[in-house]
């Protein structure tokens, strides 16, 4: 297929959908068409760079792009023009991907709805009165609505997986440090991850292959060989032992989510060696995220607090009350948990949970929702946030729909650097089901 025709089709769809979904902040149409023409010429000459060459994708608007504004969804940065590409952008350019623009998001990634944003709320393409999730709401909505073939999101408490579940797509949070976050506006240096958001596990594997790397200029980067993720999809899953951490993760579930996950487990039990109970290391709320968020924003919010959305400002100001002692103890506990969780995988290979305990709220409800206190987690991120704490690879795949037609997500998690097994089981599940192939009527 022609990269130019694909790019033109995506740009046309973006133009039609933008007044409804508001998924994009910046559309780089002319630049995208130039890159598409260059890609097409290279491919015709036999200079094929790989499976992303000429494929239109988009980026969450906290990932720096040289010469193109990167706002993090905030008035504070509405005119911010980076002088350097983020490491993941550099790698995507080298792979020949076509960048369509920058995606809308919850301001500074500090929330789970993508409603508090200077550029207006993101709408869910399955039901446009509902949130798309957050903070990578624009990324999820754009992929679900067919505005791009893949997107990058960030995940500090669930911001790839929760919106992926809410919009019916596939989203992976890699192992902490597996993908460089250098050049992404931080929320919490100790918890931030970047990862792919796509229509299928196959696409996730292709995108992860390009962005996973050791970055010597990023202090959190993991120096480990990058496996062939697409090859991993062919791995037999019949011997995999699944762990079910019922405490917290399976409590107080929406009845329709509970039913969908039970049906998904029936499929997984037939594909694998079966499931058994698993217990994850318990912990009290950690003040790490809030303290680090305040550390980044302290100078800005002291000078121009009015440039923040009220909810974001409240959360950042709350971080100022965390003492140095509390932060240091929280950071030590984070290290302990990341070490202790390895023991869980002595008896199981992967963990399976619902991605979210509740379906997406309406945008109206999100506008008046309670702001969690320091160290507290938004209810919709209850099942995702622990895996940012543990730093483990975890994916959300569609596993059903509510009676209102809203997608439901299933979360599969593995040990540190266990992306191959996570992808293999998620792919096997998608081969056995068709939930990931359904598209919202919005794009039909």
DSSP 346: G
Amino acid 369: pLDDT: 81
For the residues of 389-444, what is the DSSP string, one character each? HHT--EEEEEEEE-TTS-EEEEEEE-STT-HHHHHHHHHHHHHH--GGG---GGG-
Q: Is the pLDDT of residue 422 over 80?
A: yes
Q: How far is CA 256 from CA 127, 247, 353, 402, in A?
A: 17, 19, 14, 6
User: Which is nearest to 153 in space by CA: 201, 118, 104?
Assistant: 104
DSSP 100: E
Mean per-residue pLDDT over the chain, rounded: 97
Q: How confident is the model at residue 377 (pLDDT cuts 50, 70, 90)?
A: confident
Amino acid 442: pLDDT: 67
**Is the preceding omega at residue 135 within 30 degrees of 0, hence cis?**
yes
Q: Is the pLDDT of residue 305 over 80?
A: yes
Quick check: 420 and 235 in contact, CB under 8 A? yes
Quick check: 280 and 344 in contact, CB under 8 A? yes
Amino acid 441: pLDDT: 84
What pLDDT digit, counting tens, does each position of 13-45 carry?
Answer: 999 999 999 999 999 999 999 999 999 999 999
Amino acid 334: pLDDT: 98
DSSP 157: S
Amino acid 376: pLDDT: 73
Amino acid 443: pLDDT: 63
Neighbours of 49 (CB within 10 A): 16
User: Which is nearest to 30 in space by CA: 9, 11, 5?
Assistant: 11
Which pair of structure tokens corresponds to residue 43?
């491919």
User: What is the pLDDT averaged over residues 398-404?
Assistant: 98
Q: What angle do CA 386, 199, 369 make, to 5 degrees?
A: 45
User: What is the pLDDT averaged over residues 273-299?
Assistant: 97
Quick check: 133 and 112 in contact, CB under 8 A? yes
Q: Under DSSP, is residue 97 helix (H, G, I), strand (E, B) or coil? A: coil
Q: What would you report as the CA-atom Rg of the chain, rounded to the nearest whole angstrom? A: 20
Q: Strand order in 56-60's β-sheet?
A: 24-27, 98-103, 56-60, 150-155, 193-198, 170-173, 394-401, 407-413, 350-354, 242-244, 275-277
Q: What percent of the chain has a predicted confidence (pLDDT) above 90?
A: 96
CATH number given to 3-284+325-443: 3.90.1300.10
Cα 443 vs. chain centroid, distance in angstroms? 22
Q: Under DSSP, is residue 234 helix (H, G, I), strand (E, B) or coil? A: coil
Q: Which residues are catalytic?
A: 60, 135, 159
Q: How far is CA 264 from CA 241, 271, 354, in A?
A: 15, 11, 10
pTM over 0.75: yes
Alpha carbons 259 and 255: distance in angstroms, whole number? 6
What pLDDT digit, counting tens, does each position of 230-285 carry?
Answer: 999 999 999 999 999 999 999 999 999 999 999 999 999 999 999 999 999 999 99
Question: What residue segments make up the domains of the chain, in order of their start?
Answer: 3-284+325-443
């Amino acid at each position: 297929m022609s990269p130019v025709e694909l790019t033109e089709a995506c740009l046309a769809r973006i133009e039609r959908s933008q007044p409804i979904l508001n998924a994009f902040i910046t559309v780089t149409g002319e630049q995208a068409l130039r890159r598409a023409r260059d890609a097409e010429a290279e491919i015709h000459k036999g200079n094929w760079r790989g499976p992303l060459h000429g494929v239109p994708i988009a980026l969450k608007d906290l990932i720096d792009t040289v010469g193109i504004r990167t706002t993090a969804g905030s008035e504070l940065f509405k005119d911010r023009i980076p002088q350097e590409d983020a490491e993941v952008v550099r790698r995507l350019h080298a792979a020949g991907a076509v960048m369509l623009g920058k995606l809308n998001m919850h301001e500074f990634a500090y929330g789970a709805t993508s409603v508090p944003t200077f550029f207006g709320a993101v709408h869910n393409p399955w039901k446009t009165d509902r949130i798309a999730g957050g903070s990578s709401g624009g990324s999820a909505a754009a992929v679900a609505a067919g505005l791009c073939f893949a997107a990058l999101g960030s995940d500090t408490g669930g911001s790839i997986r929760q919106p992926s579940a809410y919009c019916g797509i596939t989203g992976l949070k890699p192992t902490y440090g597996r993908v460089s976050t250098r050049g992404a506006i931080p929320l919490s240096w100790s918890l931030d991850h970047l990862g792919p958001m796509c229509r299928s596990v196959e696409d996730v594997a292709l995108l992860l292959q390009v962005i996973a790397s050791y970055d010597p200029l990023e202090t959190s980067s993991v120096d480990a060989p990058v496996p062939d993720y697409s090859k991993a999809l062919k791995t037999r899953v019949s011997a995999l032992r699944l762990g079910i951490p019922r405490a917290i993760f399976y409590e107080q579930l929406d009845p329709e989510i509970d039913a969908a996950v039970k049906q998904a487990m029936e499929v997984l039990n037939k594909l694998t060696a079966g499931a058994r109970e698993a217990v994850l290391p318990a912990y009290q709320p950690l003040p790490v995220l809030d303290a680090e968020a305040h550390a980044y924003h302290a100078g800005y919010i002291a000078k121009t607090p009015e440039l923040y959305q009220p909810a974001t400002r409240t959360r950042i100001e709350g971080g100022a009350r965390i003492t140095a002692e509390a932060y240091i103890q929280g950071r030590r506990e984070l290290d302990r948990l990341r070490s202790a969780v390895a023991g869980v995988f002595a008896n199981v290979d992967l963990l399976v949970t619902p991605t979210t305990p509740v379906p997406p709220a309406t945008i109206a409800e999100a506008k008046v929702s309670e702001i969690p206190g320091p160290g507290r987690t938004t209810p919709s991120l209850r099942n995702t946030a622990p895996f940012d704490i543990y730093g483990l690879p975890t994916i959300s795949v569609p596993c059903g729909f509510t009676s209102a037609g809203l997608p439901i997500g299933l979360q599969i998690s593995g040990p540190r650097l266990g992306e191959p097994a996570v992808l293999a089981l998620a792919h096997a599940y998608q081969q056995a089901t068709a939930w990931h192939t359904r598209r919202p009527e919005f794009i039909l």
